[in-house]
Structure 1
Amino acid sequence: MSSPTVLVVAKAPVPGLAKTRLAAHVGDDRAADFAAAALLDTLDAARATGWRVVVSMTGDLDAAARAEELREALADLEVVQQRGDGFGERLVNAHADADAGHGVVQVGMDTPQVTAAQLREAGELLSEHPAVLGHAEDGGWWLLALRSAEDARPLADVPMSTSHTGRDTEAVLPLPIALVQEARDVDEWQDAFMIASAFVHLRASAVIREAMPR
């Protein structure tokens, strides 16, 4: 199978709107800075695959933290605007926008520790499986790879951001499903602290270290 497309689903990291649970601990500006850094880290991994990269974006990038740096990082990538009423519907449309007939490997911006090798592994699994899923520790999922954008349609009816979103998503995917390693995504301070401790090279980790008591 030809190389798939990496799809990064992202939200402009605007202070007050980005990482609100993390913001309760570190403040709106630092939480938005973390979200921007996490997106930049994710884009690095996506670009390092050597595959086509599509970024499905929502929000006001002009008002975002690190707006200039983000615009520079996005300049050589394909950026499409998210469309749809709910997040599930926006995911369905994002897969349709990114699909070039060779499969789509989708991640968000909540797992800045993702590597190009992990994305490539998911893409390779698509040669033998119609769907690949990476569960998140909080019950959601952090990676979804599909051979056909048509198989993303059931996501419109899956409740998102729940403790059972991962299980519900797995239940509607075509069989056989390949599972990749579970990962921690960042919503709370403890998540960010764990990521910063384990992946010290990340931009996102540097933001969290600055927020730690000295």
Structure 2
Amino acid sequence: MTAPVTLLVIAKAPVPGRVKTRLTPPYSPQEAARIAEAALADTLDAVLAAPARRRVLVLDGAPGPWLPPGIEVVPQCAGGLDERLAAAFALDPGPALLIGMDTPQVGPDLLAPALAGWGPGEAWFGPAADGGFWSLGLTSPHPSLLRGVPMSVPETGAVQRRRLVEAGLTVRELEPLRDVDTVADVREVAALAPDGRFARAVALCGGGSIEAGAAR
């Protein structure tokens, strides 16, 4: 049965030099983009395998051959990440669950609790190991729930969760996950999901190209 929830994925197109720049070095820009593409592909696989009313990729950049059928694509708006997240939720007036492309270990089983149907005034929050959040679900999205939340800092998750509570929402939590931001994250997440495209891409790239590292 299809859940009455829209699944949103916010992502950046896997273009060398524009994604996962914190992985270079030891990885080359091309290797970092290959790893990012695999992470995005695994994430979209999970979205396609999960029951949802709509599946929407909110993309910074142009879609490529990595995009599977069954995913709507809309461009990200301009502005900071808080503005872009708020705009992503504005795409659908109903309940929506948003995830990023940095948790390729996610699967439909991890998303399932937030797709089983929500009560009035509920929100879902997936904390990330770095202090941020990897997922956010809102029944009646409003820009004020996101705008002004400081992004990409250790207190991002705490501030966002507090914003939900202060709005009178009942916050339910998904399992904490680790985002892929650093080389240490790459290795740990690949070990957690050894059968995915992400782990295969990491294995192919190894520890990064020696030539790329030497060039720097």
Give the alignment's TM-score, normalised by structure 2.
0.87
Gaps in structure 1 of 5+ consecutive residues: 62-66
Provide the alpha-carbon RMSD of the alignment: 1.8
Q: What is the Cα deviation at residue 60 of structure 1?
A: 3.8
**Which residue in 2 is equivalent to 1:170?**
161
The residue that corresponds to 2:58 in the other structure is 56
Match of 1:107 among 84, 96, 99: 99
Higher share in helix? 1
Conserved? CA contact 2:8–2:56, under 8 Å: yes
Pairs within 5 Å for 1:126-145: 126-127=118-119, 130-145=122-137
**2:66 — aligned with what?**
69
Partner of 2:41: 40
Are residue 154 (structure 1) and residue 145 (structure 2) matched? Answer: yes
Shift of 1:2: 5.3
1:152-202 Cα distance to aligned partner (Å, 9 max, x none): 433110010001100010011142211121110100011010111121111
Please tell me whether the aligned partners of residues 9 and 106 of structure 1 are also in contact (alpha carbons under 8 angstroms): yes
In 2, Cα distance between the equivalents of 1:128 and 1:178? 12
- Compute the displacement of 1:124 (Å): 2.7
Q: Is the 8 A contact 1:84 1:93 kept in 2?
A: no
Instruction: Name the SS for the 2:160 alignment partner.
Output: helix
TM-score by length of 1: 0.88
Amino acid of the residue matched to residue 68 of structure 1? P
Which one-letter code corresponds to 1:14 in the other structure?
V
Distance 1:105 1:167, change over 3 A: same
Matched position secondary structure for 1:182? coil
For residues 1-36 of structure 1, the C-alpha deviation after alignment (integer angstroms, 9 at most, x for no partner) is 952011011111110110011122211101101111
**2:174 pairs with one of 154, 169, 180:** 180
How many residues are matched? Answer: 202
Deviation at 1:85, TM superposition (A): 1.4
Query: Who is 1:196 aligned against?
Result: 190
Q: Which moved more, 1:51-60 or 1:164-173?
A: 51-60
Gaps of 5+ in 2: 208-216
Amino acid of the structure 1 residue aligned with 2:19: A
1:87 equivalent in structure 2: 81
Q: Percent identity, aligned pairs only? A: 38
**1:2 to 1:196, Cα distance in 2 relative to 1, 3 A:** closer
Does the 8 Å CA contact 1:105/1:146 hold for their aligned counterparts? yes
**Cα drift, residue 126 of structure 1:** 2.9
1:119 paired to 2:111: yes
Alpha carbons of structure 1 residues 92 and 211: separation in structure 2 relative to 1, 3 Å: same
Deviations 1:26-78 (A, max 9, x none): 111011011111111000100111312011111244xxxxx3233xx1x4321
Aligned-pair CA distance for 1:123: 2.4
CA distance in 1, matches of 2:39, 2:118: 26
Distance in 1, matches of 2:172 and 2:194, equals 29
Q: Give the secondary structure class of the aligned counterpart of 2:65.
A: helix
Matched, 1:14 2:8: no
